[in-house]
Amino acid sequence: MSTHIAAAPGEIAPIVLFPGDPLRAKWIAENFLEGANLYSEVRGMLGFTGSWNGHRVSVQGSGMGQPSMSIYANELFDSYEVQTIVRVGSCGGLTEKVAMRDIIIANGACTDSGINRQRFHGLDYAPVADFSLLRAAVEASEALPLANTVHVGLLYSSDQFYSTRPELTEPLVAHGVLGVEMETSGLYTLAAYYGRRALAVCTVSDHLVTHEETTAQEREQTFGDMIEIALRAAVS
């Protein structure tokens, strides 16, 4: 048992899928894992362990934003010796290079968060994906018959869902950023600190240029492809 996760030692698998939404964690456990058992529901942040293609896999909700996600990632790495975390989430499209329901495999993430500035005494650290996971995710996406288009590129992990700084979009997009979400920069930084593997795979669920949004049913279908990519990469 760690401070925010009620699992006994060994109850969490070395491989964890990490959605923001705890009910998405339940949906993944029910639809993708065999024999999934709930190991924690502290604060409603559900976590399950089951198996996928013969590999033990856990799925743990992270909550939204780097402060919440960091609590769970720290405890997974530090108290449960998790080796691999793959974030499976949604993001907003920042450019017409990505369409609704496209999948972004994040090779790195920038942020407006103060967390890394505190951690590195003002220096701009570059949080990047684990290369073996990145490569495996790209290979998985090439091998699958996907309804979605897949991109490899940068995410912007913002501290604000309701942005007060729309002027940031243009320079970010001009420098290769494809989508906005709220967690990946912190996850990549913590994985580097603990010497473990992390990757974020996100589906474009709303679009800041075209102002489209997905329905719940569309999200379910397209999220399935993202989970399949994440699982194949995670067990690699």
Q: Is 57 or 154 the residue whose CB approaches ligand HPA more closely?
A: 154
Are 203 and 219 spatial neighbours (Cβ–Cβ below 8 Å)? yes
Asked about 159 being catalytic, the answer comes back as no
User: From the CB of 158, what's the least distance to ligand HPA, in Å?
Assistant: 6
Q: Give the Cα separation of 9 and 26 in Å (integer).
A: 21
Smallest gap, in angstroms, from Cβ of residue 90 to ligand HPA? Answer: 4
Q: Which helix (H) or strand (E) holds 92?
A: strand 84-93
Which residue number places its CB atom closest to ligand HPA?
Answer: 92
* Closer CB to ligand HPA, 182 or 226, in the complex: 182
Residue 124 in tokens: 């701009």
The minimum distance between CB 182 and ligand HPA, in angstroms, equals 5
Footprint on this chain of ligand HPA (rule: CB under 6 A): 90-92, 158, 161, 180-182, 205-206
Shortest distance in whole angstroms from residue 234 CB to ligand HPA:
21
Q: Whose Cβ is closer to ligand HPA: residue 91's or residue 173's? A: 91
Q: How many CA atoms lie within 13 A of 51 on its CB side?
A: 5
Residue 133 backbone dihedrals phi, psi, to 5 degrees? -70, -40
Q: Give the residue with the Cβ less far from ligand HPA, 15 or 86.
A: 86
Token pair 């993944």 in the structure block, residue: 28
Angle at 204 between CA 200 and CA 209, to 5 degrees: 130
Annotated catalytic residue: which of 124, 159, 206, 225?
206
Of 207, 204, 214, 201, the closest CA to residue 28 belongs to 201
Residues annotated as part of the active site:
206
